[in-house]
Amino acid sequence: MPNQDEIFTWVHTAVEAGANVAFALSGLLAGIRKQLDVVGICVVMGLAAFGGGTLRDVLLDRRPFFWVDHPGWLWVLIGTAVAAIYLLRTTHYEFTERAIQWPDALGLGLFTASGTQLALAAGTPALPAVLMGVISATFGGILRDVVCNEIPTALRDRRPYAVCAFVGGWVYVFAVRFEVPPATGFLLAAGSATGLRAAAL
Amino acid sequence: MPNQDEIFTWVHTAVEAGANVAFALSGLLAGIRKQLDVVGICVVMGLAAFGGGTLRDVLLDRRPFFWVDHPGWLWVLIGTAVAAIYLLRTTHYEFTERAIQWPDALGLGLFTASGTQLALAAGTPALPAVLMGVISATFGGILRDVVCNEIPTALRDRRPYAVCAFVGGWVYVFAVRFEVPPATGFLLAAGSATGLRAAAL
Amino acid sequence: MPNQDEIFTWVHTAVEAGANVAFALSGLLAGIRKQLDVVGICVVMGLAAFGGGTLRDVLLDRRPFFWVDHPGWLWVLIGTAVAAIYLLRTTHYEFTERAIQWPDALGLGLFTASGTQLALAAGTPALPAVLMGVISATFGGILRDVVCNEIPTALRDRRPYAVCAFVGGWVYVFAVRFEVPPATGFLLAAGSATGLRAAAL
């Protein structure tokens, strides 16, 4: 029987995969809307999915990056891009932002909690550590929009997005300060960021 | 009685604070003009104030960043954004680029001198070290404009800006080469960059 | 009489110089089209020529950068910018993308091969190593276009560009795996990327 830690790791990996896929799909949508070619769609998906975490790791001077350590996900990304382009050409299925906003909210929570956790573990003070969580969760989307030549949605859409990550990051900081067990603190932080975002939708 | 070094450090910190605030205010102006939300305004202010120095530190592989080491300034930035938005909603006070061009010129000089100094101290040859000074002084503004979906002012405004930083950087390099005392070299470099910019206004 | 390695190194340096110049000229063209000032043209040329390699080095955590180690090339770049602006003002010579597409294709091949090689040497797995080659070869142009406020050509032009780099990178990976001598593998990788690009023109 698996113990609690194993279950937590398994859930964490599953949610992270879902979140990466949701972020990648937001890149797919943006790339199609801008009539990019296959390469362009792959690049924008890659920036949306891995851009935030990679920027966080560059700022924290962490290596290897997630996508260097788990290259399988890059194949998933390339496969998704090719399959999506094929599907869109042969069917009239339209998938919209509404379809990905729930996994996107999960991704927001998860990246916030893991970004803040990694930054605190690297000795970063509270506020910059929270910002590392926010950067992990939001800069993928910001890079996606910059490359698509748009003012980033996260910076002008008045519905809370980065603010949910900001609150979630502080939840993690206070969980650590009050010596809440790590897994619980992680779940509280990710849950509050995701919950606030879901409430705003 | 404080000695000369203490006075220099104090002046340096005060001017740096003024420069960071001026750069942040240029981000505030840009964010308001583009009708960003509060988060967008904070991000653009942060890029304008800390973007150039952070990029320089990534290139030089220096850690911790200024804003990780002095998180208090992040609170100042968030507070300024919230206060400015409140003020702009309740009063009809308009603040314009003219109001910030003097502290901005001070910031240009100071970032140029400190960027060049840090790069030389890390063993960078003269020209790339000068460019690190120029990057510190100008890339905050460039990132601000890229995120706001504009061609950066620093790249198309025909009035000298980066060129002043370039000259100031060389002043520092020659001051070091002719064994001018560090504080004097720093003041000469920052003074010539700021002075040239002021003359161009 | 020079041995084979010396000849290889000499050819490598010559082709790399040609490729950097071609990439810089693509930045010059973009900067002129967008009516940037001299500083803007230098920045865009610098991003186009050194941006891809610098980003690769930041991701791989390699120092010093090419342009820090060989500052002479920065003078070449500044000199080219000033000379080109002077020429364009005094003559009616128009140089177009057609004129630089051959050296650009050479640059594509060379950056692909060297980026993949450096990444494998740093212990990166195959697919991310190939992507490091693609990033070296293409992100200079992507940064150039982002700063010029355009959707990057590499992401929307339907003619293969990054795809040629992708194939070239895999040629290098398989050459290493089948224990082809390094210089031969390098030439095969660079040649296939350049050849595919040339075939697509």
DSSP codes, A57-84:
HHHHT--S-HHHH-THHHHHHHHHHHHH
Nearest to C53 by CA among C164, C171, C163, C141: C141
Closest CB to A149 among C128, C150, C157: C150
Whether B16 has a pLDDT exceeding 80, the answer reads no
Helices B97-121 and B162-177, packing angle to 10 deg: 40
At residue B54, the pLDDT reads: 96
At residue C95, the pLDDT reads: 67
Whether C57 has a pLDDT exceeding 70, the answer reads yes
* Average pLDDT taken over every residue of chain C: 90
CB contact under 8 A, B151 and C146: no
Whether A1 has a pLDDT exceeding 60, the answer reads no
Chain A residues in contact with C146 (beta carbon < 8 A)? 146-147, 149
Chain B residues in contact with C43 (beta carbon < 8 A)? 142, 154-155, 162
Chain B residues in contact with C39 (beta carbon < 8 A)? 154-155, 161-163
Once rounded to an integer, what is the mean pLDDT over residues C146-169? 94
Are B127 and C75 contacting, i.e. CB atoms less than 8 angstroms apart? yes
CB contact under 8 A, A61 and B65: no
Whether C28 has a pLDDT exceeding 80, the answer reads yes
Closest CB to C39 among B61, B127, B162: B162
Task: Indicate the pLDDT class of residue A93, thresholds 50, 70 and 90.
Answer: low
| Structural domain count, chain B | 1
Once rounded to an integer, what is the mean pLDDT over residues B45-72? 94
At residue B10, the pLDDT reads: 78
Whether B147 has a pLDDT exceeding 90, the answer reads yes
C31 occurs within a structural domain: yes
Whether A15 has a pLDDT exceeding 80, the answer reads no
Task: Indicate the pLDDT class of residue C80, thresholds 50, 70 and 90.
Answer: confident
At residue B98, the pLDDT reads: 78
Burial A109-123 (b: 16+ CB within 10 A, else e): bbbbbbbbbbbbebe
Q: Does A153 touch chain B (CB under 8 A)?
A: no
Once rounded to an integer, what is the mean pLDDT over residues C3-31? 81
Chain A residues in contact with C131 (beta carbon < 8 A)? 74
DSSP A117-161: HHHHHTT--HHHHHHHHHHHHHHHHHHHHHHTTS--HHHH--S-S
A20 occurs within a structural domain: yes
At residue C22, the pLDDT reads: 85
Backbone angles phi, psi at B89, to 5 degrees: -80, -30
Between A174 and B82, the more confident residue is A174
Once rounded to an integer, what is the mean pLDDT over residues C67-94? 84
Q: Does A108 touch chain B (CB under 8 A)?
A: no
Whether B201 has a pLDDT exceeding 90, the answer reads no
Once rounded to an integer, what is the mean pLDDT over residues A47-61? 96
Are C22 and C103 contacting, i.e. CB atoms less than 8 angstroms apart? yes
Q: What is the pLDDT of residues B100-134, one digit of tens each?
A: 888 889 889 999 999 999 999 999 999 999 999 99
A5 occurs within a structural domain: no
Whether B1 has a pLDDT exceeding 60, the answer reads no
Separation between Cα atoms, residue B34 and residue A142, nearest integer Å: 16
Whether B33 has a pLDDT exceeding 70, the answer reads yes
B2 occurs within a structural domain: no
A123 occurs within a structural domain: yes
At residue B181, the pLDDT reads: 93
Task: Indicate the pLDDT class of residue C158, thresholds 50, 70 and 90.
Answer: confident
At residue C1, the pLDDT reads: 56
At residue B158, the pLDDT reads: 85
Separation between Cα atoms, residue A66 and residue A107, nearest integer Å: 15
Q: Does C183 touch chain B (CB under 8 A)?
A: no
Q: Which chains touch A (3 or more CB pairs under 8 A)?
A: B, C
B145 occurs within a structural domain: yes
Once rounded to an integer, what is the mean pLDDT over residues A147-169? 93
Once rounded to an integer, what is the mean pLDDT over residues A172-189? 94
Whether B5 has a pLDDT exceeding 60, the answer reads yes
Q: What is the ipTM for the molecules in this complex? A: 0.94
Which of the residues C155, C159, C170, C173 would you substitute to probe the A interface, choosing the one with the greatest number of A C-beta atoms within 10 Å? Answer: C155
At residue B113, the pLDDT reads: 94
Separation between Cα atoms, residue A161 and residue A201, nearest integer Å: 10
Domain with A161, as residue range(s), is 11-200
B110 occurs within a structural domain: yes
User: What burial class does residue C62 get, using C-beta atoms within 10 Å of its C-beta: 0-12 exposed, 13-18 middle, 19+ buried?
Assistant: middle
Whether B22 has a pLDDT exceeding 90, the answer reads no
Once rounded to an integer, what is the mean pLDDT over residues B92-101? 74
Once rounded to an integer, what is the mean pLDDT over residues B13-17? 75
User: For chain B, where are the E strands, in sequence order?
Assistant: none
CB contact under 8 A, A43 and C162: yes
Chain C residues in contact with A148 (beta carbon < 8 A)? 151
Burial B145-176 (b: 16+ CB within 10 A, else e): bbbbeebbbbbbeeebbbbbbbbbbbbbbebb
Nearest to B97 by CA among B34, B41, B145, B26: B26
A69 occurs within a structural domain: yes
